[in-house]
Structure 1
Amino acid sequence: MVLVTTRFPKVAGMVKTVDPLELRGLESNDFFTFFEACIFGQDNKPEHYEYEFAGIARKIANKLKGSPLAAKTVGRLLHKHLSQEHWNGVLEKHQWLKQQENDDIMQSLKISYDYLPFDLKKRFSYCGLFPEDHEFTPSEINHFWVAIGIIDYNHHADRNYLDELVDNGFLMKKKGYYWDDRLMHELSKSVSAQECLNISDLDFRADAIPQSVRHLSINIEDRYKANFEEEMCKLRERIDIANLRTLMIFRGYEEERIAKILKDSFKEINSLRVLFIVVKSAQSFPYRFSKLIHLQYLKISSSYSEDEMSLPSTLSRFYHLKFLDLDDWYGSSDLPKDFSHLENLHDFRAASKVHSNIRNVGKMKHLLELKEFHVRKGNMGFQLRELGSLTELEGGLIIRGLEHVATKEEATAAKLELKRNLKELELLWGRDGPTTDADILVCKS
C-alpha cells in the first residue's frame, strides 16, 4: 500500500486510486487542547491561567481555523511571555504571521507559493485585497485582473485561473463562488505587501507600509478612534495617492467621522483603474470623481434611503470603463442621458429597470448583457432599431412596448441580430397583443 500526501488537489487527482481524503482543521475542542499543549509543552499551566489567559487563548485559537501548524507557531510565540499584554498583542496584531523560522506557518505555506507558475503567483497575490472569506464570482476577480492590466481582456476566457488556483490548494470553490481561507488570505497579503495594502484594523500603522503600494482596500469596524485619523494622515504622506491604481471600500460607515476621513484621505486620486465605493448621499462620492477618466472597473453600492439618490451625471465621462457594477445600487434607476458614451463598456451589472433606461443603447456595441429594453413612442433613443447594433449580446432579453414599433423595416433591422447569441428572448406588448404587422414580424423572429 502506498499512502500519498500532498498540498495540491490536482496531484491527488493524478495519483488517486480511491477518493482522496481532504484534511481540514481539527475540531474546535480537540484543537484547543492541542493548542494549549503547544503553548505549555510539558510545563504546568500557571495557577491564574483560567482567569487571566484562557479567554485570550480561545480567541486566538478561533483565528487559527484548526490548523496544527498554526497552533505550533503561535504556541511557541505565546510561551515566550506569559503576560496578558503580550498575548493580546499576538491576538490583535497577528504577530504569528510574521515569524521567520523555517518551520513557521507563513514560511511553510510560502514553499507551496514558490512552486506556483509565475502567472498564478501574480493573480493569487491580489486576492488579499478582498476581505477575508469574501466570496467572489469569476467575473468579479477576472474583471479586476483585466482592469489592473495582468490579463488581456480579449484572451481572459482562454484559461480558468481560478480553477487552477483551486487545483493548487490556494482557493476554495463551492456553487460557483471562490474564496480563500484565513491562512491563504494572510499568505496573499504577505507576498503582495510591496504593492497591495488591505486595511482591516483601526490600529494599523502607516509607518510600516511600503511606499511602493499602488493597490489599496479598506474594510474596518464602524467605530471611530483618534489614532485611525492620525494614521490615515500619515498614509497620505507616505504613499503616492495620486498614482493609486486600485481603491476598494467594501462597506458603508454609519460613523460620519470615519466616512469623512476616508473621503478627505483620497482627494488627490486621479489615476485609478479600479474603484469600489459605498455611498450614502451624493456628497459621499470622492472629491475628484469626475476626473477618474482612467477607470476600467467601477462598483458603486448604496444603502436603502427614503430620498432616492441619483447617479452622478459625470459617470458618462469614463470612456475607458469596461465593467460597471450597480448590483447593490438602491438609488434612482435613472441614468445620465449620455450614458451611451461609454462605448467600451462590456459588462454592465444592474437591475432590469436600470438597463431599460439606457438611451441610444445601440452605441454600446460591446455590451454583453441587456436585461430589458423598452420601445418608447416618440422618444428618441428608444426605438427598436437600437438593438440591431448589439451583436455581442448574450443571455436573455425582455423587450417591452412592441406596440410602439412603427414600421416593418424597423422590426426587420433588429430581428436579424437578436437571436444570434441570446438564449432567451421574451416579447411583451400592450394588453391587446400584437396590433401591427411589425409586432407580428418581431414575434416570429
Structure 2
Amino acid sequence: MSSMLPYELKGLPHEDCLALFTKWAFNDGEEKRYPNLMRIGEEIVRKCKGIPLAVRTLGSLLFLRTDESEWKSIRDCEIWRVEQSEHDILPVLKLSYNNLPPHLQRCLAFLSLYKKDYSYHSDDVILFWMANGLLEHPKQNEEWEDVGNRYLKELWLRCFIQDVEDRGFFFIFKVHDLIHDLALDVSQRECKRLCSHAESIDEKVRHLSLCDDHQQLVKFPQALMNRKYVRTVILQQSLCTIDLSFVELCVSNFKYLRALNLRDSTLKALPDSIGTLKHLRYLDLREYRQIRKIPSSLYKLRRLVMLKMTGVPLMQLPDRMQSFIRLRCLEISIGATHLKEIRQGCWSSLQYLGLFHCESFESLFEGMQYLTSLRTLYLCTCAKLVSLPRNLKFLTKLEHLYVHRCGAINLDMELKEEEDQHLQLSLKTISLEDLDALKDLPRLLLEGSSSTLQWITLSSRCHAG
C-alpha cells in the first residue's frame, strides 16, 4: 500500500469569510446602508485568518450594532496583538466572551461541567442555573424558566451554542469543542471536571463534575475532603458504580450543596443524612432503578425546585412529597393503580409534571385543578390510563400537553356545562403518539384554546375521528 501525502486544511477564502461575517452582522441587504462599518468589518475578518467559527462569532457579536466606535474597539482590541499560533482561535473567542453581559458569562462557564459533544437539554440547564442563583429576577409576566430560555437564545444568537433541535417545550443543543475549551478556560477556578482521584483541586472550586470513565468511581477523592463550599456535584458516568459511602461523604462534606446529579447510579439506597442538605434545589435521581427505599429525611428538602425520579420504583406517591412547596419540575414513575389526591396549596409553583412508566395506574391525581402554575403535562408509557380528568380545564396556564404510548386512553372530553362555553385556556401544543384506543380529541381543551393553539401532532397508531 502506497503512502499518501497529508492534506493540509486551509482557512476559508477571504471573500467567503466576508460573506459569512456580513450574514451574521447584518439583516439581509442592510450592510449597504453602512459602508464605513463594512470597511471596518473587512479588517476584522482579515484578523480571523480564515477560521469560520471566529468570523461567525464576531459577526454575531456586532449584530444590530451600528456605532462605529464599537466596531473599532473590536478591530483595535489588544487581544490581536498577543502572540499566537496561526490557527489559535481561543483569543478571538475570548474577545467575544468578554463582550457578553456578566450573567451570560457565568452561565456559559457552567456548561464546561459536561463533556465535549454532550447533548444539553435546555430545561435541565435552566433548572441547574436557577438552582445556583444565576438567573436575574423575572420581569412582569415572566417565569424563571422564561429568563433561562432568554439567556439560551441570546447565547445561540451569539453562536456560543449550536445544533439546536426543537423538542416542543424544550430544545436540545450542543457546544462546539472550541467553545467548550473557552468555557473551561474561563471557569477553571470555579468549575472543575475531575477525571482522576489524583488531580489537585483549587480551593475556589465550587462546582464539580466527576467523570472517571476508565475505572469504577467508588472512592471519594481525598482532594475533596476540605472543600466544604462545593455547590454542585454531577456524576458523569453511564451506569456508574459508586459506594454509598461516596454519597454520604458528599452530604457530610458539602453542606452548601445546591445541585446533586446521581443519574444512572447503581446504588440501592440513599443516605439518611441527605435531609441535612437544606440548601439543595436540584436533585436528579433518574434511572436509580435498584433503590428500594426513599429515606424519610428526603422530605426535609423544602428548597427543592427540581426533582427527577423517572425509573425509581415508587409504589405510591408519598404524602410528604407534597411538602415540596417550591417545586417547579417533577418527574416520577409510580406503580399504583390510583394516585393520591393533591391537596390545595401544594405544588402551587409546579411548572412541569412528567409521569413516566406508570404501568398500572388508571387515572391521574384528584385535585389536578390545584396545579395552577402548571405549563407542561407529559404522560408517557402509562398503559392502563383510560382518560384525562375534566378538571384540566381549570389549568389556565397549561401550554403543552404530551400523551405518548398510553395504549388504553381515549380523550373524549365534551362541553357539558355552561362555563365550558367560555373557557380561556392557553394550550399551544398537543402531542399524541402511539395511542391505540384513541377515537376522540379533547374538544373541551381544543375549543378553550382556540386562540392560542399552534400545534396538534398525531403520530403512529392514533385513530382520532
TM-score over 0.5 (shorter chain)? yes
Q: 1:276 aligned to 261, 267, 284, which one?
A: 261
What does residue 390 of structure 1 align with? 371
Q: What is the SS of the residue equivalent to 1:131?
A: coil
What does residue 24 of structure 2 align with? 12
Report whether the alignment pairs 1:148 with 2:148.
no
How many correspondences in the alignment? 335
The one-letter code sitting in structure 2 at the alignment partner of 1:392 is S
Shift of 1:301: 2.8
Higher helix share: 1
Q: Specify whether residues 115 and 277 from structure 1 end up closer, same or farther in structure 2 by C-alpha distance, changes over 3 A only.
A: same
What does residue 326 of structure 1 align with? 309
Q: What is the SS of the residue equivalent to 1:331?
A: strand
Higher Rg = 1
What does residue 58 of structure 2 align with? none
Q: 1:169 aligned to 132, 136, 159, which one?
A: 159
Q: Specify whether residues 253 and 367 from structure 1 end up closer, same or farther in structure 2 by C-alpha distance, changes over 3 A only.
A: closer
What does residue 47 of structure 2 align with? none
Distance 2:397 2:176 in 1: 41
Q: 2:300 aligned to 313, 317, 323, which one?
A: 317
What does residue 328 of structure 2 align with? 346
Q: 2:286 aligned to 294, 301, 306, which one?
A: 301
Q: Specify whether residues 282 and 211 from structure 1 end up closer, same or farther in structure 2 by C-alpha distance, changes over 3 A only.
A: same
Distance 1:136 1:3 in 2: 34
The one-letter code sitting in structure 1 at the alignment partner of 2:349 is H
Shift of 1:296: 1.3
Q: 1:180 aligned to 175, 182, 186, which one?
A: 175
TM-score, normalised to structure 2's length?
Answer: 0.58
Distance 1:286 1:359 in 2: 28
Distance 1:354 1:192 in 2: 45
What does residue 211 of structure 2 align with? 219
What does residue 122 of structure 2 align with? 138
Distance 1:365 1:216 in 2: 32
Shift of 1:351: 4.2
Listed as ranges, the gaps of 5+ residues in structure 1 are 19-66, 70-99, 377-381, 404-410
Shift of 1:418: 4.2
Shift of 1:375: 8.4
Shift of 1:338: 1.3
Q: What is the SS of the residue equivalent to 1:326?
A: strand
Distance 1:162 1:212 in 2: 26
The one-letter code sitting in structure 2 at the alignment partner of 1:338 is R
Report whether the alignment pairs 1:202 with 2:196.
yes
Shift of 1:368: 2.4
Q: Specify whether residues 254 and 294 from structure 1 end up closer, same or farther in structure 2 by C-alpha distance, changes over 3 A only.
A: closer
RMSD: 4.7
Q: Specify whether residues 13 and 177 from structure 1 end up closer, same or farther in structure 2 by C-alpha distance, changes over 3 A only.
A: farther
Shift of 1:341: 0.7
Deviations 1:328-354 (A, max 9, x none): x34335332211111111111234768
The one-letter code sitting in structure 2 at the alignment partner of 1:213 is V
What does residue 185 of structure 2 align with? 190
Q: What is the SS of the residue equivalent to 1:205?
A: coil
Q: Specify whether residues 8 and 118 from structure 1 end up closer, same or farther in structure 2 by C-alpha distance, changes over 3 A only.
A: farther
What does residue 95 of structure 1 align with? none
1:19-418 correspondence runs (5 A): 101-103=83-85, 104-151=88-135, 152=137, 154-158=143-147, 160-175=150-165, 176-199=171-194, 201-202=195-196, 205-206=199-200, 209-223=201-215, 232-237=221-226, 239=227, 241=228, 243-251=229-237, 260=245, 263-264=248-249, 267-278=252-263, 279-283=265-269, 285-286=270-271, 288-302=273-287, 304-305=289-290, 309-327=292-310, 329-351=311-333, 357=339, 359-362=341-344, 363-370=346-353, 384=366, 386-396=367-377, 414=391, 417-418=394-395
